[in-house]
Amino acid sequence: MSRELISKKTRNEFREYLVGWTLATIANEFDAADISCDLAYDPPVSGQRRSLVEQYYHSLDLTKPDDARKLLNAFENVLISIGNTANFYYSEEQRNQDLARLTACLRRDGYVFENARVVPIAGAVSLDGVRARAVELDAGHLAQQIKRIEQSVDSDPAHAIGSAKELIETCCRTILAERGNPCTEKLDVLPLVRRTLEELSLVPEGIPDEAKGAKSIKAILGNLATISQNLAELRNLYGTGHGKEGRTKGLSPRHARLAVGAATTLALFLFDTHMERLTEPVGASA
């Protein structure tokens, strides 16, 4: 069964907030987001406002990105309204509490409210792909790392940066073990990635010069290892795992999302290549 892209908990939190709105205002916001109202649906909730919100929810298939985007558009307008100081009857303290609660729910679902827009946290899609590979390979430790990254990107960027580098290490060790060549020695991330690239026949030297686009392909393959090295250096400077000078300033969630995005893109490419190699004739290469 496909996972809903916006959780029931998040929907319920927004619904309870909207109970304070008029029926007409609720309808206007959902209609503006091009969401239909399923009037034939009788939701198991009390109150006209709750029922109306649930009737709009019911018309959506939230396993589909297009429908999820419609609902996120409606939620955007709700969040913008919370910050509207023209609501003079609405105290600043209460507005801040409501905004914090609702945006926290969205973050758990993989979204962030920035510049009056609800957008996916960078790397969320890739994390879904890596998570799927973890399930296929029965890699429980990898699944735990993914969960830790998702929980810390906004709340603890330093931890997310450190975990991004560890994600690549776990990815490489999992692939090598799956291919019957486990890495039992302690290696830094760069030589570990290089060993994995060799195992998957992805080293630049494996591309003949006469191949179409050989120069570009070699450059991309060479840069794969560089990604891991740069993440290791970023982790040493700002991530967890090393003591820092007391006045060291950390990076923001956007930097953590950049690190996580790079790590998960590399991990997913390596996993996908590994899975494809399993079905290729012996001796085939990239």
Collect all residues with Cβ–Cβ distance below 8 Å to 223 and sequence separation of at least 6. Answer: none
C-beta of residue 23 within 8 angstroms of C-beta of residue 49: yes
pLDDT of residue 76: 94
Q: What is the arithmetic mean of pLDDT over 244-256? A: 63
What is the average per-residue pLDDT within 40-50?
Answer: 96
Residue 283 lies in a domain: no
Q: How confident is the model at residue 256 (pLDDT cuts 50, 70, 90)?
A: confident
Q: Which domain holds residue 271?
A: 124-277
Domain end among 63, 85, 120: 120
Q: Do 108 and 153 fall within a single domain?
A: no
Residue 82 covered by a domain: yes
pLDDT of residue 208: 67
At 284 the pLDDT is: 52
Q: Is residue 266, in this structure, part of any structural domain at all?
A: yes
Q: Evaluate whether residue 78 is within a structural domain.
A: yes
pLDDT tens-digit readout, 217-232? 777 777 777 887 887 7
In the listed set 98, 120, 142, which residue is the last one of a domain according to the structure?
120
Q: How many domains does the chain have?
A: 2
Residue 211 pLDDT: 62
pLDDT tens string 79-107: 999 877 666 567 888 888 999 999 999 98
Domain boundary among the residues 120, 135, 155 is at: 120
Give me the chain's average pLDDT, please.
Answer: 82
- 199-220 average pLDDT score: 72
What pLDDT does residue 30 have?
A: 97
Same domain, 87 and 191: no
pLDDT at res. 129: 72
Measured CA distances, 27 to 6, 68, 72, 214, 236 (Å): 20, 18, 15, 57, 51
Residue 258 lies in a domain: yes
Report the largest interatomic distance among the alpha carbons of the chain, rounded to a whole angstrom.
72
Assign 209 a pLDDT band (cuts: 50, 70, 90). low
DSSP 283: T
Does 282 fall in a domain? no
* Whether 133 and 85 share a structural domain: no
CATH number at residue 184: 1.20.120
28 and 151 within one domain: no
Q: What token pair was written down for 279?
A: 């079905």
In sequence order, the 6+-apart residues with CB closer than 8 A to the CB of 34 are: 70, 73
Report d(CA 262, CA 159) in Å as an integer. Answer: 15
Judgement on whether residues 133 and 259 belong to the same structural domain of the protein: yes
Average pLDDT over residues 144-162: 78
Residue 227, domain member (yes or no): yes
Do 88 and 141 lie in a common domain?
A: no
